[in-house]
Amino acid sequence: MVPSKLTSKEFEQLVLDQSAWYEEIKFAVIGRYGVQATVRPSHTTPGAMETQLIQSLPDFEGMYRCLEGESKGLPHTFRHVIFDAKVCSSASFPWNKYRAETRGPRARQLKHMLRRSRFGATCFFLFHWNERSLAKRTVPARTFIFPVSDQDDYWDRVESLEVKSLTLSDCEEKGVEVDWVLNSKQSRKYRPDFLLLKKLESMSQTAAHSGLFV
């Protein structure tokens, strides 16, 4: 059951809750990225130094097991995963702050994922689209993985302003929908299976076609 409305803080906590489950079953270990900081002269105390936090890395990173390799008899293989969690309550999500020329924190987050993807890391945005009430219908809440890869010219088109925003239709076309699951018979709260574990275990066409987590 997909939650109809979530705040960013609520969504991130559910991601952490699901991450704890992945670690419990020894499928993945995922946590928040550390925050970078720089030391500079204090603006308030002459002669003193102060620490300034730099919010420039994605939300989460970790390692996960590649189940496809194990199914072929290969020893445990692990891959690095990096992702940023976003909640969107409108019809589209703007990419303007992710363009390199802005030199802002979001641009650095995307650059970090693109660089890591070049060396085999699985990188993506995890989007939760909140339910929206329109004049004649209701658009239900859905959650998607939207892959980030330096092999995908989509991000070049974002940089050139050919693509200015992301829509739910874009996620349907290029992304993979995330199921909300109860992890055990005792579970009462649905959580996002953002590493597609249930889909991979059943080897569904969606997971296999996505090329993610394999």
List domains and CATH numbers for the chain.
Answer: 8-210 (3.40.1350.10)
Q: Which residue has the higher pLDDT, 210 or 191?
A: 191
Percent of the chain with pLDDT over 90: 64
DSSP the chain: ---S---HHHHHHHHHHHHHHHHHTTSEEEEEPPPEEEEEE-SSSTT-EEEEEE--S-SEEEEEE-HHHHHTTPPP-EEEEEEEEEEE-SSEEE-GGGSGGG-SHHHHHHHHHHHHHTTT-EEEEEEEE--EE-SS-EE--EEEEEEE-TT-THHHHHHTTS--EEEHHHHHHHSEEPPEE-SSTT--S-EE-TT-HHHHHHT-HHHHHH-TT-
Answer whether 47's CB lies under 8 Å from 36's CB. no
Identify the pLDDT of residue 55.
60
Q: Find tokens 């088109």 and name the residue.
A: 157
pLDDT single digits (tens) 86-112:
999 999 999 999 999 998 889 999 999
Q: What per-residue confidence (pLDDT) applies to 187?
A: 82
Are the beta carbons of 172 and 145 closer than 8 angstroms?
no
The 10 Å CB-count burial string (b at 16+, else e) for 21-42 is bbeeeebbebeebeeeeeeeee
What Rg, from alpha-carbon coordinates, does the chain have? 19
Question: Looking at residues 1-22, what average pLDDT do you find?
Answer: 95
pTM of the prediction?
0.84
pLDDT attached to residue 40: 65
Other C-beta atoms within 10 Å of 131: how many? 15
In the prediction, which pLDDT does 7 show? 97
Per-residue pLDDT, averaged over 146-155, amounts to 95
CB-based contact 47:65 (threshold 8 Å): no
Rounded CA separation 30/41 (Å): 35
140-150 mean pLDDT = 96
- 211 confidence band (pLDDT: 50, 70, 90): low
Q: Which two tokens stand for residue 94?
A: 């703007």
**Out of 58-62, 118-122, 181-185, least confident range:** 181-185
